[in-house]
Amino acid sequence: MTEALTRVYEADGQEIRLSPATITRYVLGGNQQVPEPEMAKAIMTCAARKLNPFAGDVHILPHWDSASGTTKLSVCPSIDFYQRRAMANPRFRGMKDGVTVIANGVMLKKQGCAVYEDLGEKLIGGWAAVYIDGYVDPVCCEVSMAEYDQHRALWKSKPATMINKVAKSQALRKAFPDEFTGLYEPSEMGLEETSTSVTTMEPPMECEATYEEPVEEDKRPAMWAEVADLKKAAISMGTNEQAIRDWMDATITNPDGTPKAPRDYAVEEICLLRDKLHENIADQAELEASAASGAQGELSEYDIDF
């Protein structure tokens, strides 16, 4: 497997030789249980995007998939990579970013990540604006804590920094889709930013007997990984990313009718989103096939509704 999957490429003027053995030893801390397809996905993504995992460009994050009984790998570029790659683009003219707080009943957008709770400020979101040569207005993005707060690890100790990262990565992806479409920063995906060790990845020998959570809770990480891949595929075929979000907000709601935060989705709700993405991809493929054959096919009002 090592020779067949080894790739040599250049990233920022440095030659990178990436092989399964290199990732296993230096990135995953010696874990030997990664299936070949997962290793191939990680190596091919890094090579295609010119990502250097040894310079902090990308986090290759392992997670246990209880459905398949194997270790999966998520390839998530760091926010430093987003910013460095954007600065290398000749059209980039700078960026402003910060957090959104409530203070004395008034919502304020502040630059930077400082939130002064002792002065009554409450963090509710993050924002970013990217300035591009030739654009009259900046490309803006604002995200809410309610949607992305994971209530663990760095989200507990540095919530302002984490929500600011989400806003910056989304704004840069909107500003430079050719560079960043299909790439998601770990904070957006609900993943930790550093690779976990082998011991934390492997399930306990008697996990089913000791887990107190419902069985469906164990299935959700694997299902979200599948949804992420489907979403990337749909976007690459022309689906609008914001339209996907709008569909989710309108279709998957709380009892009071407000949009449900994705981190609170039940298994059946993730299945609903997954099935809708499958339908959308199939519809896009039908359109492409019709265009290639010269046919003037028409889709119903229910097709490609995002």
Is pLDDT above 90 for 292? no
What the block records as the tokens of 33 is 């249980």
Length of the chain: 306
- Tell me the sheet residues that pair with 100: 109, 125
**pLDDT, mean of residues 140-168:** 90
Residues contacting 29, CB < 8 A, separation 6+: 195, 197, 198
Phi and psi angles of residue 185, each rounded to the nearest 5 degrees, phi first:
-70, 145
Query: Which residue do the tokens 């398949």 mark?
Result: 68
**pLDDT, mean of residues 250-276:** 87
pLDDT score, position 168: 93
The kind and range of the H/E element at 237 are: none
pLDDT score, position 190: 64
User: In the chain, what percentage of residues exceed pLDDT 70?
Assistant: 83
Most confident by average pLDDT, 163-172, 192-201, 228-237, 292-301: 163-172
The kind and range of the H/E element at 231 are: helix 215-236
pLDDT score, position 293: 63
What confidence category does residue 120 fall into, taking pLDDT thresholds of 50, 70 and 90? very high
pLDDT score, position 207: 36
Output the CA torsion 268→274→279→284 (10° steps).
160
State the Cα angle at 170 between 164 and 175, rounded to 5°. Answer: 125
Q: Maximum Cα–Cα distance for the chain, whole Å?
A: 65
Instruction: Give how far Cα 237 sits from Cα of 46, 224, 284, 286, Å.
Output: 21, 20, 7, 11
What the block records as the tokens of 193 is 């930013």
Is pLDDT above 60 for 133? yes
Is pLDDT above 70 for 116? yes
Q: What is the pLDDT of residues 95-114, one digit of tens each?
A: 999 999 999 999 999 999 99
**pLDDT, mean of residues 220-243:** 84
187 or 259, which is more confident: 259
pLDDT score, position 211: 39
What confidence category does residue 117 fall into, taking pLDDT thresholds of 50, 70 and 90? very high
Helix (H, G, I), strand (E, B) or coil at 287: helix
Is pLDDT above 80 for 186? no
What the block records as the tokens of 303 is 């097709």
Q: What is the pLDDT of residues 72-102, one digit of tens each?
A: 888 888 888 888 889 989 999 999 999 999 9
Closest CA to 228 of 285, 183, 284: 183
Q: The pTM is what?
A: 0.55
